[in-house]
A and B are shown apart, each in its own frame.
Chain A
């Protein structure tokens, strides 16, 4: 049966209404229909799952209809006019001229003014929405140095770098910044300093996955350590660029617990396509428990294999990666100006204190835990088998089906540049690298030990 007769049948049927058309996803253009009907599209902008994204969706929804009308009138009308007025050029009598109309000033003024009025009307709602999207929990943003506990809601700093995201939670309540210039006060002048001098080393730092409480607006403070990136969780809000040397604000709010994936959307160099992230929304009490765990120091493992791995970590990995360990035995002990000495353009590598509590690594492209039936030797990015920690929070036994992805972790530790494009070699001029070095000197047994240590960091 043709589409046309299908439609006619639908129009004749009693149940037809504009609303039911919308329910069956007859949103404006066929293209958009397909976009909105799909349910296996984790980045779909037509499935808002938070008030900010919903706001954008609701603003645009009627405008799609206006566009559809213009589309039909102009494109359909144009094609119709052209084909209805066609003549055969070969048999044309040159004296058979159509009426020589030179224009119609009234009509032309009309179609100059009318779209302008229409657009002016739309722009009222648009400008209103631009300001709505900027609204933060606290009308006055937290002053520098003011503890975030004094401001409403949770603030998280989002830092982009090639090619992963860092998140900082101010759990100790003394703000994101410290007195970097040593003038005795924490103020905006500190913010102008290179990032590694002003960030509070006591804040909880995580990577790749931003964990937030569901149903609450989380205000973000965004920046970058190297080039421009863009932070985007399509189902929760639009995107905002993270620009080195600048502090931008943005916010996220998820209606319900769940995992919302995103992707860096400003071209940021070699592995831009592999700079992925997700936001995981947890119930409030689960979130508090998660944050308390993140704030705690890493435990010194008791297992001898993991203990050997810890010593190997200190020998090989500690010049870039931080593990907040109590340091009592002096094995893991960082110099005071650690960040300034990290030989990376960004001066930062992911904080691994609670590495095993994250479900992905390497910028969100590999799963830390593998789901049932997955082949750890599969070279395709298996991060799609995420262990969803929001699901885990509700159903702890789900973890039993998952295993620690030691195969990929070993490959990653021994030769990260072969698993994700990066410029790991140190540039002789600047003395800086932009990625994780390969470690060919580590034996298979040593790799097992390091991976066993990482598994204890939950």
Chain B
């Protein structure tokens, strides 16, 4: 019994009723098919859906990016009008930040973190499903703006008072505001869920300092989300009050100070930068030791530098505002703070390099992408230090130098890490290895395309080309490098698309070969998610793993012989679990998370267009909340509620869902 450990859990199956939900619907119980995906509460399926959704939005944001590059390839171009350009670049930034990089981080966190800590699922599986669906609902609502009068035109930063009703009278910015407000709810609930999971549901023996670095970075990321998203939500509620209800929070004529928006946005926005990059840091911290065949260099420093970045990330927001007129004292304080955030980041870079030092490195595709992250992020980090020099930032800010910088950080850094992660964990998630030769072609296309696109932007920025410019004149001398960048963008775009192509063709080849078993541990990896069959069985672990070491899986395979020499004493296949889930109890699927999630855009449209829409929206929301509240966590109509299996386990994982 869970209560033996003094932890909170309902006694399984004893005090819940078995009546069907509100007497109206039977519990969904399809094991496969569309309805299964829609109602699933399985963290792995939710993780895959996060990944698929972010790849879809990557296509949207990527097409927007290529439209921008076509427009800017030549001076005085008329491919996009000023109005269209402003909407396209706003949506490019917004989609890439909120609907691509953030959810792809969530995809890895959802899929991997429970496996890395030896858990059955996350702490609140239905809330996990809700987090995904509400992100998707918000993201889709934002993108319906393309068809309902045009996207938002205020930039992803959406500065006041340009975001006000006088200066942007259409509905574009309302879509931005409502869509992200709704998607933000998913980030909040997801953060609470994953933090609870890491804190409470680790396998026996897995102390905090034995957690894989990826799990650590997930934990830091979720704390950043937990505290950062509410700040954006506050700003967006104020903006909604201004735009939709005639309030004056950002109305200068009524005495407002527009810098309020900038402070709120960047207090969210700078931690946001770190919560986008930290999951990728976690990913390469798993990949580099695996293919270097060495433990990560200085694990405690890696962990604490990640935590330090998380803390220091809260104290540097005003470096986005060095020319906003803060006054020299504030600028001095933030310039010094910003310079010092380079220290923990530098520690991470050097520790990765020293993990590779003296190693025997297998240059597989995931490893290549990880090395690309380390090197490209370093370039972004260096240009970042040059922005921290506030006097020089007065020349750089709002130029293409900044555009170059954050693409080196977010694409060359975060996204390369994520692509490496897809290659690395594809066998665990899907059961097949992605084609290596194809992967290497893709790697070189992406690295070359990336540098051809964004390296010239450093030059353009220092030559004085401002950002967010629909066009420029030939006399300004920006033509050549813009053309180079546009050519690079198409190479990069094709290279990025090859991720999906490779997934598809590798899957097809695998099916044609009769779905051969790739084995539990194809990379000779280090952490316990590789101790279970590939693809991961629905119930994850047959029995609770008991952890004794950091990189526990590796230490089970490699042990010292009588001469004190490390040897492979058991192969992964010998040690791997069988994938027998007989008698394992799993949380039951539910209709309510998706119902609740999709009631919110109806309310959002209601605020924008007509309050009559609030009636069906709120009714649906109330129905979903009540349905959820009265629905037992377990489907007791199914046969699998044999709790004996769980009760033998000693870990915290048995508290699957009590909410």
Which A residues form the contact surface with B (CB < 8 A)?
Answer: 29, 31-32, 34-35, 38, 40-46, 53, 55-56, 59-60, 63-64, 67, 70-71, 74-75, 77-79, 81-83, 85-89, 92, 94-105, 107-108, 111-112, 115-116, 119, 122-123, 126-127, 129-131, 133-134, 162, 192, 194, 222, 226-228, 230, 232, 234, 237-241, 243-246, 248, 263-274, 345, 380-381, 383-384, 421, 427, 429-430, 432, 434
Contact = CB atoms under 8 A, between A and B. Distances in A.
B390 interface: yes
Interface string B334-354: 011001101110110111111
A81 B353 contact: yes
Contacts of A96: 360
Given A31-B458, A103-B298, A263 B328 contact: no
B391 A108 contact: no
25 contacts: A44-B464, A60-B391, A63-B389, A74-B350, A82-B371, A85-B292, A95-B568, A99-B294, A102-B297, A111-B350, A115-B342, A116-B340, A116-B343, A122-B339, A126-B391, A238-B395, A240-B323, A241-B324, A244-B252, A265-B399, A265-B467, A272-B82, A272-B468, A380-B76, A421-B82
Contacts of B293: 97-98
A92 B166 contact: no
B166 A430 contact: yes
B47 to A, nearest CB: 27
A192 B255 contact: yes
Contacts of A274: 82
B389 A59 contact: yes
Contact of A92 (B81, B360, B396): B360
Given A41-B463, A108-B347, A430-B166, A271 B389 contact: no
Interface in B178-233: none
Given A78-B353, A94-B568, A272 B463 contact: no
Interface stretch (B102-110, B375-383, B584-592): B375-383
A56 B469 contact: no
A43 B401 CA distance: 13
Contacts of B472: 273
B575 interface: no
Given A79-B375, A241-B324, A246-B257, A130 B331 contact: yes
Contact of B167 (A29, A115, A434): A434
B335 A123 contact: yes
A421 B83 contact: yes
B92 to A, nearest CB: 14
Interface string B383-404: 0011001111111111100000
A112 B302 CA distance: 12
Contact of A238 (B162, B168, B391): B391
A116 B339 CA distance: 9
Contact of A59 (B165, B167, B391): B391
A126 B346 contact: no
Nearest to B469: A273
B470 interface: yes
B167 A82 contact: no
Interface string B280-323: 00000000000011110111110000000000000000000001
A67 B385 contact: yes
Given A67-B385, A244-B252, A421-B83, A384 B392 contact: no
Contacts of A34: 459
B558 interface: yes
Contacts of A192: 255
A150 B9 CA distance: 78
A289 to B, nearest CB: 29
B294 A100 contact: yes
Given A111-B346, A227-B161, A134 B328 contact: yes
Contacts of B356: 78, 81-82, 85
A427 B472 CA distance: 29
Contact of B378 (A74, A130, A263): A74
A383 B461 CA distance: 22
Contacts of B363: 82-83, 86, 89
A112 B258 contact: no
A403 to B, nearest CB: 19
Interface string B250-289: 0011011111000000000000000000000000000000
B36 interface: no
B336 A127 contact: yes
A123 B328 contact: no
Contact of A87 (B155, B360, B458, B475): B360
B256 A245 contact: yes
Contacts of B101: none
A272 B386 contact: no
Contacts of A103: 297-301, 351
A421 B153 CA distance: 14
Given A74-B378, A98-B359, 5 more contacts: A42-B477, A108-B298, A126-B339, A133-B394, A245-B256
B298 A104 contact: yes
Contacts of B542: none
Contacts of A41: 463-464, 476-477
A267 B162 contact: yes
B462 interface: yes
Given A56-B392, A267-B155, A119 B375 contact: no
Chain B CB within 10 A, most for which of A32, A56, A81 = A81
A188 B483 CA distance: 50
Given A126-B391, A238-B395, A101 B294 contact: yes
Contacts of B371: 78-79, 82
Contacts of B340: 116, 119
